[in-house]
Chain A
């Protein structure tokens, strides 16, 4: 193939989008169904989600060839990335309104008070949009059927599980932070939520291991030529150390062991969530860079021989002083 059309900015965007959407989704689930009235405990995780979505959007726009006209994404009805962009905006707007309603500063208390009455509505919409973003990040890649490794229903499932898992990890790290004031009730509810997140993330990490291995090994054993080539690279090729040691080992197995074996320790409450987050980022990296197309016979031979853009004569051409 010629080169990777999407690179690190898209990797970061897909990771942060899933993370931010997952935090909003889980915050809504907890606030509505599991620990009603404990919304303020999720104010700091919601800030992390808003920051993640904002930074993700920055990288998404940065990746564009013409970033200043990013608004053109909303000019047609059919494109799937339009729906992703719309969900991002909805999640950020309503997530921000919900977050502002918890701000304790005097100068904003009027606005916060006015918004407080509609917290349920804001969080409901943000949570719904967050769920959409989690699913969308995988669906967007899987609709591009030119890329055999992406065009599988397993990819959106994998990305969604990973997004919720990384969201669990991020919430566990940020739960009960500013602007929560110390109280016994807050400490108790925080502990209860930590316990629930702990168990949920164990289940999610197990599910992620299963889906990831099913996807990769089924491609490895029974994929078409292109998908099998990518899976072979993952399983025993150039990418194998990153996949087995980085993704499966440090991103999934070790956090799982720490979650189960080190309950209550710093290894379980800090190291494991951090590893889960890094594993989520690595998963997006491995997937985005597995964008091989079916080769037209002779195509790779041709493209390997033409200018890549960093040769000296290309630089001369770029500088409008073509000496060749």
Chain B
């Protein structure tokens, strides 16, 4: 069975925000919505031993998502391949799922017409994959550093499967029991 995950190699990320821009462009997002911000705490350490650690964020497409069972309309759904997505035709924007997500990766735009808002989030570019099953999320295609690697973790020959099996990876907020499916290869870091 297919189970899509993403590995993000923080050693390669330079915080260029290309993925953020690509995502905004592909999904035609309102200005107050960002699916995949690339965040940093700023420069750490003392010159000349300084470094900056970038963390690209996106929906964690959790194996045990908090946002799906709490949705009263059934708009928030999960495919068999693990993709968590929202059917905008069913969403009434009650924002329970937005409050349920421990990662803050969902939101409804305040810039859309008052009576026609719906909750949005990253879908691993589900629409692109529906058009072409071999397609990858746009942020993955755009990342010139190859910091984002997308694939099927259930396929032992896939790059993500090999990476997760061979390199130390971390996941965010596993204590919530959501089993997030974005794996981060930690930054090497400078000498602080």
The answer to whether A79 touches B70, judged by C-beta atoms less than 8 angstroms apart, is yes
Given A5-B98, A297-B41, A302-B37; A64-B66 close (CB under 8 Å): no
- Is A312 in contact with chain B by the CB < 8 A criterion? no
List 6 A–B pairs whose Cβ atoms lie within 8 Å, in order of A's numbering. Answer: A65-B93, A82-B72, A85-B72, A144-B70, A299-B37, A306-B32
- Is A34 in contact with chain B by the CB < 8 A criterion? no
Query: Which of B1-9, B104-112, B155-163 lies on the face that meets chain A?
Result: B104-112
- Is A238 in contact with chain B by the CB < 8 A criterion? no
The 6 closest A-B pairs by CB, nearest first: A65-B93, A65-B117, A298-B39, A79-B72, A146-B102, A72-B73
The answer to whether B41 touches A79, judged by C-beta atoms less than 8 angstroms apart, is no
- Is A183 in contact with chain B by the CB < 8 A criterion? no
Q: Chain A 1-36 against B: per-residue CB contact (8 Å), 1 yes, 0 no? A: 110011000000000000000000000000000000
The SS class assigned to the B binding surface is loop
**Which of B60-77 touch A at CB < 8 Å?**
66, 69-75
**Which of B95-123 touch A at CB < 8 Å?**
95-96, 98-104, 107-108, 110-111, 115-119
**Which of A106-163 touch B at CB < 8 Å?**
143-147
Distance of B187 from chain A, by nearest CB (Å): 11
Query: Which of A164-172, A198-206, A288-296 lies on the face that meets chain B?
Result: A288-296
Select A65's contact among B57, B70, B92, beta carbons within 8 Å: B92
The answer to whether B99 touches A144, judged by C-beta atoms less than 8 angstroms apart, is yes
Distance of A314 from chain B, by nearest CB (Å): 6
Distance of B168 from chain A, by nearest CB (Å): 18
Chain A interface bracket (under 10, 10 to 19, 20 to 34, 35 or more): 35 or more
The answer to whether B99 touches A5, judged by C-beta atoms less than 8 angstroms apart, is yes
Given A72-B92, A314-B32; A1-B117 close (CB under 8 Å): no
Residues of the A chain whose Cβ atoms lie less than 8 Å from the Cβ of B99: 5-6, 144, 146-147, 291
- Is B27 in contact with chain A by the CB < 8 A criterion? no
Residues of the A chain whose Cβ atoms lie less than 8 Å from the Cβ of B111: 309, 314, 317-318
Residues of the A chain whose Cβ atoms lie less than 8 Å from the Cβ of B176: 145-146
Residues of the A chain whose Cβ atoms lie less than 8 Å from the Cβ of B69: 78-79
Distance of A51 from chain B, by nearest CB (Å): 23
The answer to whether B34 touches A306, judged by C-beta atoms less than 8 angstroms apart, is yes
Residues of the A chain whose Cβ atoms lie less than 8 Å from the Cβ of B110: 309
Known: A73-B94, A85-B72, A317-B111. 5 other contacts (CB 8 A): A2-B107, A63-B94, A65-B93, A73-B92, A296-B57
Residue of B108, B110, B173 with most partner-chain A CB within 10 A: B110
**Which of B34-92 touch A at CB < 8 Å?**
34, 37-42, 53, 55, 57, 66, 69-75, 90-92
Interface residues of B, count at CB 8 A:
46
Select A296's contact among B73, B75, B103, beta carbons within 8 Å: B103
The answer to whether A294 touches B173, judged by C-beta atoms less than 8 angstroms apart, is yes
The answer to whether A76 touches B101, judged by C-beta atoms less than 8 angstroms apart, is no
Given A70-B92, A314-B31; A297-B98 close (CB under 8 Å): no
The answer to whether A298 touches B92, judged by C-beta atoms less than 8 angstroms apart, is no
- Is A307 in contact with chain B by the CB < 8 A criterion? yes
- Is A67 in contact with chain B by the CB < 8 A criterion? yes
Distance of B64 from chain A, by nearest CB (Å): 12
A262–B69 CA distance with the chains assembled, in angstroms: 50
The answer to whether B172 touches A296, judged by C-beta atoms less than 8 angstroms apart, is yes
Residues of the A chain whose Cβ atoms lie less than 8 Å from the Cβ of B72: 72-76, 79, 81-82, 85
The answer to whether A293 touches B34, judged by C-beta atoms less than 8 angstroms apart, is no
Given A144-B100, A145-B102, A308-B32; A80-B41 close (CB under 8 Å): no
The answer to whether B172 touches A68, judged by C-beta atoms less than 8 angstroms apart, is no
- Is A184 in contact with chain B by the CB < 8 A criterion? no
A293: nearest residue on chain B (CB-CB)? B104
A268–B101 CA distance with the chains assembled, in angstroms: 45
Distance of A223 from chain B, by nearest CB (Å): 14
The answer to whether A6 touches B95, judged by C-beta atoms less than 8 angstroms apart, is yes
A5–B105 CA distance with the chains assembled, in angstroms: 12
The answer to whether B94 touches A64, judged by C-beta atoms less than 8 angstroms apart, is yes
Select B32's contact among A72, A78, A143, A309, beta carbons within 8 Å: A309
Residues of the B chain whose Cβ atoms lie less than 8 Å from the Cβ of A296: 39, 55, 57, 103-104, 172-173
Distance of A70 from chain B, by nearest CB (Å): 6
